[in-house]
Structure 1
Amino acid sequence: MFRYSISCLYVFALLVSVPSAFGCTTFCLKNNGEVLFGKNYDWSIGDGMIFVNKRGMSKISGLEDEKNVAKWVSKYGSITFNQYGWEAPSGGMNEMGVAIELMWLDDTKYPKPDDRPAIDVLEWIQYQLDTSASTAEVIRNAELVRIVSEVNLHYMVNDRNGNAATIEFLDGKLATHTGMELPVATLTNDTYARSMRYAATNDPLTTRSANSLDRFVRASARTKQFSSRVLSEQEAVDYAFDTLANAAQPGYTQWSIVYDQRRLKVHFRTKDQLAIKTVDAHFFDYGCVAPVLTLDLNTTETGDVSPLFRPYARTANRNLIERSFGGTEFLAKVPAGVKDRYAEFPERFTCSSVVPLRDKMQTRAENAAFDWRDPSAYIFKYLATSR
C-alpha cells in the first residue's frame, strides 16, 4: 500500500476540480417545431461506449458504505453515453424523450445524511432516465433520494416538450431553475444564478475565452436566437453542432452530442472521429428480456449506426474501465480486482418487478474502501485508508 499525506489528498482534489478539465457546456434549443439538447463533454480522455438500457430492470445503488441505498425498477429504456462503465453514464436520453447531462460545479454541496436512500452522482442520471417521463418528474424524483459523493456536479434536464431545468445542490439543498425561472436554458460550470448575472453585463462578441462564464454567454445567446428561427430538421441539428463548436475547448472537448428529442434521435461526434453519427431510439427493443446493447463511441462508421450495436459483453465493459481509469490520473492506480468487480456489478440486476436481496460481496483488503458506482470518490477513500 502507498502512504499519502493530507496535502496529497488536496492535490488530487485539485486535479478533479480544474475548470478546464470538467468544463462542459449544455443548452436546450426550442422553437415551434424543434426541441434539441446540446452537450460538449470536456475532459482529458475520450474513451466511451453507448449503452441501450432496458425497462423492467430491478436495480440497486452500489454505495456499500450506506445503510439505506436507493432501489428502483426501470420504467423506461434509454440510450446513454458512458465513460466509466455500464450503469455509470455521463448523460443520455430515455424513450420518453427526457435527456439529462452533467457538468462540474465547484459550488456543489450535497444534502447531509437523512432518511432518504443514498445514490451516487452517476447512478443518479441512470435512476432519473429509468424513472422519469418529464422534467417535472425528474425534479420530483430528485427529492426522493440523496446523492452521496465527493464529485461536485450539477445537471441540465430537458424533456420532449422542451421543458428544461437546471438541477443544482447548493448549501446542502436541492436548487432548481425551470419555467419562468429559467429564461435561457444554458448551463456551464458556474451556478445558473452567477452565470445569468455575468451574461447581463457581458456581450457574446467580446466574451471569447474558454472559461465557464464566457462559454455560457456565447451559448445562451445562440439559444435565444434559435427560438425565432424557422429551420428544417437538418438545419436545426447543424445549428446545434455549430453552437457546440462555438463553445468548444481545444484539446479538451472529447464528445459533442445533440439529442433530437421530438424525433428520438441522437447525433454525436468525437474528438477522434469527427464525422457525425446518428442513433435512432426507435430502432431498439427496450424489453428487458432482450440483451443490453453497446457501441464504441469512437466507431469509425458514419451515418445511422443504430444497426451496429451488439449485445453487451463484460470484456468490452472491462476494457473500457481499464482504458478510462488508466487514462484518468487520479484513478490510474485502482487495483485490478476493484475494476473487475466494478465491471461485474451491474450484471446482478434482474429482469423482474421485484428487487432481489443482493448477496454480500467478498472483499479483499486492498479493495475494502471502494465506492462501487463512484470512481472519482473512490480515490479519496483509497488514499485516505492506505497505509
Structure 2
Amino acid sequence: MSLCRSKPFAAMILPVCFGLASVCLTEAVPACSTVAFVDTQRPMLAYNFDFEATGAGFLTVNSAGSRRQSISEDRPASWTAEYDNLTINQVGPGMPAAGMNTAGLVVTLMWNKDAVFGGAAGLPSVSELEFIQRLLDLSGSVEEAVEHAKGVRIDGLVPIHYFLFDQAGAAAVLTPGKSGLVVHQGIDLPVPALTNTSYREALLHLAQFRGYGGASPVPQHQSRGDQNSLDRFAIAANAAQHSKGRTNAAEAFKFLNELANSETRWQIVFDPKDQQIRLRIEGSSLEHRLDLSTLVFACQVPALAVDLRQLTSEFEAKDLTPIQPELLSESLTEVLSSMRQTAHLGHAEIAGSIATGLIFSSSCTAN
C-alpha cells in the first residue's frame, strides 16, 4: 500500500505525519535542543526531544535497498536507500524525529516559528519528516546531505528546522525559507547548537554575553516565556565551548539535563564514529545503548522496531521485531489524542488506517 495512491488518504495523513503538529493551532511549543561536540577524535551530538503530551514512539531499523515514495501529492519524491540507519520516530516508519546512519550522519529536528516552506515548485517533494529519512537514506556526510537537500522541496505544514552532524565533526543547520533552504555551515556556523529560534537571531542574542562579544554573564538557568529558546541556545553554546569539543556520553547527558524541561520525553546522545546511540526515556533512569554495528540490516516490510516505552536494561537486537499495525495504531491513538485542537486530528478512529499506510509505504529492492 502506498500513501501516495489515495489522495483523500494522503490529505488526511499529511498533517498527522509530523508528531509535533499540535503546535500549528495551539500555544503548546516544544522546546527541543541540539548541541554538538565537534572534536574530530570523538565527535558527539546531544539532543532533547520535547513534546507536551506523550513520549510514545518507536526505535526503527531502516535498511539500504528500501524503496520509498513520499506521501506528498504534488510531485512526490521517490528514492532507494543507500545507507542503513536507525531512527527515533514518534509517528511511524519513514517519519523520524531524529536518527543516525551507518556512515555516521545524524539529523535532528526542532520547532522554529520562523521557518517557511517554499522553494522551486518543479522539484520533487517530501513531507517534513520524510525529509529527514531521505537524508539518512542517501547521504554519507553533512556535505552530501546538504546537496541532497537541494534536490527536493519540503511540502510542510509545521515550521521546523534541522541540525546535521557527521563523524568528521562537520555540522550544518537547514532552515526552510520562501526561496528554499537556508544553509548555515562552516564559518557560517560558529556555534554548533540549535534550539527553537532562527540561527541568526540566536547568534545575535549570544553576542551580548561574556566570551561572545558582550559583557553580561551567560545564563546559568533557563528563563520562561519568549526568552527560553534563546537562553537554551546560550547555555548550549557555552557547553560546547567549555568542553573544547571533547566530551563523553555522561557529560553530554549532563548538558542535556541543563537544557531539559518538564516536557522532555527523550534524551539522545549520538556517537557517529563508534556507531552508538545512547537513549534515555522520561521517567526511567535506564540508559539504553544501541550499537549499529551489532544490528543486522536487511530490508523487510514491516520494518523492525521496538516501542520506546518497552525498552529494558537487557535490550538486545533480538528485541526488535516487525512493527505491527495494531501496536502502531495504539501508539498513534495516544499521540493523536493530544492534538484535538488541530484540524483533522484527535480522532482515534483514523489511527489504524494511518498505521497501516505508514508500515507499507516502503518496499524492498535488490541492492
Per the TM superposition, whether the score is higher than 0.5 is yes
Counterpart pick for 1:278 among 282, 289, 293: 289
Give 1:335 deviation, angstroms: 4.5
Q: 1:33 to 1:13 in 2, by over 3 A?
A: closer
C-alpha distance in 1, partners of 2:92/2:178? Answer: 30
Counterpart pick for 1:114 among 108, 111, 121: 121
Task: Name 1:26's counterpart in structure 2.
Answer: 34
- Unpaired segments ≥5 residues, structure 2: 1-19, 210-216
Task: Name 1:130's counterpart in structure 2.
Answer: 137
Aligned length: 335
Task: Name 2:229's counterpart in structure 1.
Answer: 212
Q: 1:157 to 1:271 in 2, by over 3 A?
A: same
- Unpaired segments ≥5 residues, structure 1: 1-11, 355-387
Residue 272 of structure 1 aligns with an amino acid whose one-letter code is G
Residue 350 of structure 1 aligns with an amino acid whose one-letter code is S
Give 1:31 deviation, angstroms: 1.9
SS of the counterpart of 1:72? strand
1:359-370 equivalent positions in 2, closer than 5 A:
none
Q: Is the 8 A contact 1:86 1:317 kept in 2?
A: no
Residue 49 of structure 1 aligns with an amino acid whose one-letter code is F
Task: Name 1:221's counterpart in structure 2.
Answer: 238
Give 1:303 deviation, angstroms: 5.9
1:49-198 equivalent positions in 2, closer than 5 A:
49-64=58-73, 66=74, 68-112=75-119, 114-198=121-205
Q: Is the 8 A contact 2:23 2:158 kept in 1?
A: no
SS of the counterpart of 1:262? coil
Residue 94 of structure 2 aligns with an amino acid whose one-letter code is E
1:36 matched to 2:32: no
C-alpha distance in 2, partners of 1:310/1:13? Answer: 28
Task: Name 1:376's counterpart in structure 2.
Answer: none
Q: 1:226 to 1:57 in 2, by over 3 A?
A: same
Q: Is the 8 A contact 2:118 2:179 kept in 1?
A: yes
C-alpha distance in 2, partners of 1:205/1:333? Answer: 38
SS of the counterpart of 1:201? coil
Taking only the aligned residue pairs, the percentage that are identical comes to 27
Give 1:100 deviation, angstroms: 0.3
C-alpha distance in 1, partners of 2:202/2:310? Answer: 35
C-alpha distance in 1, partners of 2:90/2:250? Answer: 25
Alpha-carbon deviations, 1:122-173, whole Å to 9, x = none?
Answer: 1111111111110011110111000112110000000111110000123333
Bigger shift: 86-95 or 15-24? 15-24
Give 1:80 deviation, angstroms: 0.7
Q: 1:317 to 1:96 in 2, by over 3 A?
A: same
Task: Name 1:48's counterpart in structure 2.
Answer: 57
Give 1:328 deviation, angstroms: 3.1
Give 1:342 deviation, angstroms: 1.6
SS of the counterpart of 2:97? strand
Alpha-carbon deviations, 1:82-132, whole Å to 9, x = none?
Answer: 111221111111111111000000101111551101110011111111111
Residue 36 of structure 1 aligns with an amino acid whose one-letter code is M
Give 1:208 deviation, angstroms: 3.3
Residue 287 of structure 1 aligns with an amino acid whose one-letter code is A
RMSD: 2.4
Residue 225 of structure 1 aligns with an amino acid whose one-letter code is H
